[in-house]
Protein backbone atom coordinates (compact mmCIF):
# COMPACT_ATOMS: atom_id res chain seq x y z
CA UNK A 1 0.00 0.00 0.00
CA UNK A 2 1.33 3.45 -0.85
CA UNK A 3 2.09 5.45 2.28
CA UNK A 4 2.90 8.75 0.64
CA UNK A 5 2.03 10.71 -2.50
CA UNK A 6 5.16 9.65 -4.35
CA UNK A 7 4.29 5.99 -3.86
CA UNK A 8 0.70 6.72 -4.85
CA UNK A 9 2.04 8.37 -8.02
CA UNK A 10 4.11 5.30 -8.89
CA UNK A 11 0.99 3.13 -8.44
CA UNK A 12 -0.99 5.38 -10.78
CA UNK A 13 1.81 5.28 -13.34
CA UNK A 14 1.77 1.47 -13.20
CA UNK A 15 -1.98 1.55 -13.73
CA UNK A 16 -1.86 3.82 -16.78
CA UNK A 17 1.14 1.92 -18.17
CA UNK A 18 -0.93 -1.25 -18.12
CA UNK A 19 -3.97 0.63 -19.47
CA UNK A 20 -1.98 1.98 -22.44
CA UNK A 21 -0.77 -1.52 -23.25
CA UNK A 22 -4.35 -2.80 -23.19
CA UNK A 23 -5.28 -0.01 -25.61
CA UNK A 24 -2.44 -0.93 -27.98
CA UNK A 25 -4.00 -4.41 -28.21
CA UNK A 26 -7.57 -3.18 -28.59
CA UNK A 27 -7.16 -0.43 -31.17
CA UNK A 28 -6.45 -2.69 -34.16
CA UNK A 29 -9.87 -4.30 -33.57
CA UNK A 30 -11.48 -0.86 -33.57
CA UNK A 31 -9.67 -0.08 -36.81
CA UNK A 32 -11.18 -3.20 -38.37
CA UNK A 33 -14.63 -2.45 -36.99
CA UNK A 34 -14.80 1.16 -38.16
CA UNK A 35 -16.57 1.72 -41.45
CA UNK A 36 -15.79 5.39 -42.05
CA UNK A 37 -12.35 5.99 -43.57
CA UNK A 38 -11.82 9.02 -41.39
CA UNK A 39 -12.67 7.14 -38.22
CA UNK A 40 -10.40 4.28 -39.23
CA UNK A 41 -7.57 6.74 -39.85
CA UNK A 42 -8.21 8.43 -36.49
CA UNK A 43 -7.93 5.07 -34.71
CA UNK A 44 -4.81 4.18 -36.69
CA UNK A 45 -3.06 7.41 -35.86
CA UNK A 46 -4.05 7.14 -32.21
CA UNK A 47 -2.55 3.65 -32.19
CA UNK A 48 0.80 5.14 -33.23
CA UNK A 49 0.45 7.78 -30.53
CA UNK A 50 -0.47 5.17 -27.94
CA UNK A 51 2.63 3.11 -28.71
CA UNK A 52 4.66 6.24 -28.17
CA UNK A 53 2.81 6.92 -24.90
CA UNK A 54 3.92 3.51 -23.63
CA UNK A 55 7.53 4.48 -24.39
CA UNK A 56 7.00 7.83 -22.69
CA UNK A 57 5.82 6.07 -19.52
CA UNK A 58 8.99 3.98 -19.56
CA UNK A 59 10.87 7.27 -19.51
CA UNK A 60 8.75 8.34 -16.53
CA UNK A 61 9.65 5.15 -14.65
CA UNK A 62 13.29 5.94 -15.36
CA UNK A 63 12.90 9.48 -14.03
CA UNK A 64 11.31 8.03 -10.90
CA UNK A 65 14.05 5.42 -10.53
CA UNK A 66 11.52 2.64 -10.81
CA UNK A 67 11.38 -0.46 -12.98
CA UNK A 68 8.77 -0.18 -15.73
CA UNK A 69 6.04 -2.45 -14.41
CA UNK A 70 2.33 -2.41 -15.00
CA UNK A 71 -0.43 -3.24 -12.60
CA UNK A 72 -3.67 -4.57 -14.05
CA UNK A 73 -6.00 -1.67 -14.75
CA UNK A 74 -9.46 -3.11 -14.16
CA UNK A 75 -11.09 0.16 -15.18
CA UNK A 76 -9.61 0.10 -18.67
CA UNK A 77 -10.28 -3.64 -18.98
CA UNK A 78 -13.97 -2.94 -18.32
CA UNK A 79 -14.17 -0.10 -20.81
CA UNK A 80 -12.44 -2.17 -23.48
CA UNK A 81 -14.69 -5.14 -22.77
CA UNK A 82 -17.70 -2.96 -23.50
CA UNK A 83 -15.99 -1.90 -26.72
CA UNK A 84 -15.48 -5.47 -27.76
CA UNK A 85 -19.15 -6.18 -27.04
CA UNK A 86 -20.00 -3.29 -29.35
CA UNK A 87 -17.95 -4.88 -32.11
CA UNK A 88 -20.10 -8.02 -31.82
CA UNK A 89 -23.27 -6.05 -32.56
CA UNK A 90 -24.89 -6.34 -35.92
CA UNK A 91 -25.48 -2.64 -36.50
CA UNK A 92 -25.82 -0.40 -39.52
CA UNK A 93 -22.41 0.99 -40.57
CA UNK A 94 -22.86 4.52 -39.31
CA UNK A 95 -24.50 3.31 -36.09
CA UNK A 96 -21.51 1.02 -35.49
CA UNK A 97 -19.20 3.99 -36.04
CA UNK A 98 -21.21 6.13 -33.61
CA UNK A 99 -21.03 3.36 -30.99
CA UNK A 100 -17.29 2.85 -31.54
CA UNK A 101 -16.76 6.57 -31.00
CA UNK A 102 -18.78 6.36 -27.78
CA UNK A 103 -16.53 3.56 -26.53
CA UNK A 104 -13.33 5.24 -27.65
CA UNK A 105 -14.28 8.47 -25.88
CA UNK A 106 -14.75 6.55 -22.65
CA UNK A 107 -11.19 5.32 -23.10
CA UNK A 108 -9.89 8.84 -23.74
CA UNK A 109 -11.69 10.31 -20.76
CA UNK A 110 -10.34 7.64 -18.44
CA UNK A 111 -6.83 8.42 -19.69
CA UNK A 112 -7.33 12.18 -19.43
CA UNK A 113 -8.35 11.73 -15.79
CA UNK A 114 -5.41 9.45 -15.04
CA UNK A 115 -2.84 11.75 -16.65
CA UNK A 116 -4.42 14.83 -15.08
CA UNK A 117 -4.08 13.30 -11.64
CA UNK A 118 -0.51 12.12 -12.21
CA UNK A 119 0.57 15.51 -13.52
CA UNK A 120 -0.97 17.37 -10.58
CA UNK A 121 0.71 14.98 -8.13
CA UNK A 122 4.06 15.19 -9.93
CA UNK A 123 3.89 18.96 -9.81
CA UNK A 124 2.98 18.89 -6.12
CA UNK A 125 6.02 16.68 -5.54
CA UNK A 126 8.28 19.01 -7.52
CA UNK A 127 8.83 16.38 -10.24
CA UNK A 128 8.79 18.88 -13.06
CA UNK A 129 10.20 16.68 -15.79
CA UNK A 130 7.81 13.85 -14.97
CA UNK A 131 4.94 16.33 -15.22
CA UNK A 132 6.22 17.58 -18.57
CA UNK A 133 6.58 14.16 -20.12
CA UNK A 134 3.10 13.15 -18.92
CA UNK A 135 1.77 16.45 -20.25
CA UNK A 136 2.74 15.45 -23.78
CA UNK A 137 0.57 12.35 -23.56
CA UNK A 138 -2.27 14.26 -21.93
CA UNK A 139 -2.28 16.70 -24.85
CA UNK A 140 -2.55 13.77 -27.29
CA UNK A 141 -5.43 12.21 -25.37
CA UNK A 142 -7.33 15.48 -25.35
CA UNK A 143 -6.74 15.98 -29.05
CA UNK A 144 -7.87 12.41 -29.75
CA UNK A 145 -11.05 13.00 -27.75
CA UNK A 146 -11.80 16.23 -29.58
CA UNK A 147 -11.14 14.61 -32.93
CA UNK A 148 -13.68 11.90 -32.08
CA UNK A 149 -16.27 14.52 -31.11
CA UNK A 150 -15.62 16.34 -34.36
CA UNK A 151 -16.03 13.18 -36.43
CA UNK A 152 -19.26 12.28 -34.64
CA UNK A 153 -20.70 15.74 -35.00
CA UNK A 154 -19.63 16.33 -38.57
CA UNK A 155 -21.60 13.51 -40.12
CA UNK A 156 -21.50 10.16 -38.38
CA UNK A 157 -24.28 10.94 -35.91
CA UNK A 158 -26.45 12.45 -38.62
CA UNK A 159 -25.88 9.45 -40.85
CA UNK A 160 -26.69 7.14 -37.95
CA UNK A 161 -29.88 9.10 -37.24
CA UNK A 162 -31.02 8.86 -40.82
CA UNK A 163 -29.97 5.24 -41.15
CA UNK A 164 -27.95 6.10 -44.21
CA UNK A 165 -24.42 5.29 -45.17
CA UNK A 166 -22.03 8.20 -44.87
CA UNK A 167 -21.58 8.37 -48.64
CA UNK A 168 -25.26 9.06 -49.01
CA UNK A 169 -24.93 11.59 -46.21
CA UNK A 170 -22.25 13.46 -48.09
CA UNK A 171 -24.47 13.66 -51.12
CA UNK A 172 -27.23 15.06 -48.94
CA UNK A 173 -24.88 17.63 -47.54
CA UNK A 174 -23.88 18.71 -50.99
CA UNK A 175 -27.56 19.08 -51.76
CA UNK A 176 -27.80 21.34 -48.75
CA UNK A 177 -30.24 19.24 -46.76
CA UNK A 178 -28.03 18.51 -43.80
CA UNK A 179 -30.00 17.82 -40.70
CA UNK A 180 -28.99 19.74 -37.65
CA UNK A 181 -31.13 18.01 -35.10
CA UNK A 182 -29.86 15.68 -32.42
CA UNK A 183 -27.73 16.18 -29.36
CA UNK A 184 -23.98 16.62 -29.63
CA UNK A 185 -21.95 13.46 -29.16
CA UNK A 186 -20.46 14.55 -25.89
CA UNK A 187 -21.53 17.02 -23.31
CA UNK A 188 -18.53 16.54 -21.09
CA UNK A 189 -15.42 18.50 -21.82
CA UNK A 190 -12.00 17.01 -21.34
CA UNK A 191 -11.42 19.51 -18.60
CA UNK A 192 -14.31 18.54 -16.41
CA UNK A 193 -13.43 14.89 -16.92
CA UNK A 194 -10.15 15.40 -15.16
CA UNK A 195 -10.21 14.46 -11.50
CA UNK A 196 -7.65 17.01 -10.56
CA UNK A 197 -7.16 20.31 -12.23
CA UNK A 198 -6.62 20.40 -15.98
CA UNK A 199 -2.95 19.82 -16.10
CA UNK A 200 -0.77 22.35 -17.74
CA UNK A 201 -3.00 24.23 -20.09
CA UNK A 202 -0.04 26.00 -21.65
CA UNK A 203 1.17 22.78 -23.20
CA UNK A 204 -2.18 21.87 -24.58
CA UNK A 205 -3.22 24.37 -27.14
CA UNK A 206 -6.95 24.12 -26.98
CA UNK A 207 -8.26 23.00 -30.26
CA UNK A 208 -11.49 24.25 -31.49
CA UNK A 209 -14.25 21.78 -31.20
CA UNK A 210 -15.13 21.04 -34.73
CA UNK A 211 -18.29 19.94 -36.33
CA UNK A 212 -20.93 21.99 -34.66
CA UNK A 213 -22.22 25.17 -36.07
Report which residue's Cβ sits closest to Fe ion. Answer: 73
Selected from 12, 93, 97, 111, the binder of Fe ion by CB under 5 A is 111
Selected from 141, 146, 153, 166, the binder of Zn ion by CB under 5 A is 141
Q: Give the shortest CB-211-to-Zn ion separation in angstroms.
A: 19
Residue 98 or 107 with smaller CB distance to Zn ion = 107
Selected from 9, 10, 13, 15, the binder of Fe ion by CB under 5 A is 15
- Helix (H) / strand (E) containing 21: helix 5-33
Considering only 42-50, 91-99, 124-132, 156-164, which stretch makes contact with Fe ion by CB under 5 A?
42-50
Residue 18 binding partner per list Zn ion, Fe ion, none, with a CB distance cut-off of 5 to 8 Å that depends on partner kind: none
Residue 35 or 204 with smaller CB distance to Fe ion = 204
Residue 179 or 206 with smaller CB distance to Zn ion = 206
Query: Do residues 38 and 29 lie in contact, with contact meaning Cβ atoms separated by under 8 Å?
Result: no
Q: Give the shortest CB-18-to-Zn ion separation in angstroms.
A: 14
Q: Give the shortest CB-184-to-Fe ion separation in angstroms.
A: 23
3-state secondary structure string across the chain: CCCCHHHHHHHHHHHHHHHHHHHHHHHHHHHHHCCCHHHHHHHHHHHHHHHHHHHHHHHHHHHCCCCCCCCCCHHHHHHHHHHHHHHHCCCCHHHHHHHHHHHHHHHHHHHHHHHHHHHHHHHHCCCHHHHHHHHHHHHHHHHHHHHHHHHHHHHHHHHHHHCCCHHHHHHHHHCCCCCCCCCCCCCCCHHHHCCCCCCCHHHCCCCCCCCCC
Chain positions 65 to 84 lying near Fe ion, rule: CB under 5 A, are 73, 75
Residue 70 or 211 with smaller CB distance to Fe ion = 70
Count residues near Fe ion (CB under 5 A).
6
Residue 117 binding partner per list Zn ion, Fe ion, none, with a CB distance cut-off of 5 to 8 Å that depends on partner kind: none
Q: At a CB cut-off of 8 Å and minimum separation 6, what does 106 contact?
A: 79, 82, 83
Q: Give the shortest CB-68-to-Zn ion separation in angstroms.
A: 19
Query: Do residues 139 and 108 lie in contact, with contact meaning Cβ atoms separated by under 8 Å?
Result: no
Q: Which chain residues interact with Fe ion by CB under 5 A? A: 15, 50, 53, 73, 75, 111
Q: Which chain residues interact with Zn ion by CB under 5 A? A: 111, 141
Amino acid sequence: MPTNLREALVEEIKDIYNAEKQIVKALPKMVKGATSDELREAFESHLDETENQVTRLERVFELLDEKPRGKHCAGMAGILEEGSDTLQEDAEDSVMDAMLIAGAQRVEHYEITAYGTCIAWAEALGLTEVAEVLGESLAEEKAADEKLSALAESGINDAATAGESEDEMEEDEEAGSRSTEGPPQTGVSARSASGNRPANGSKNPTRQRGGRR
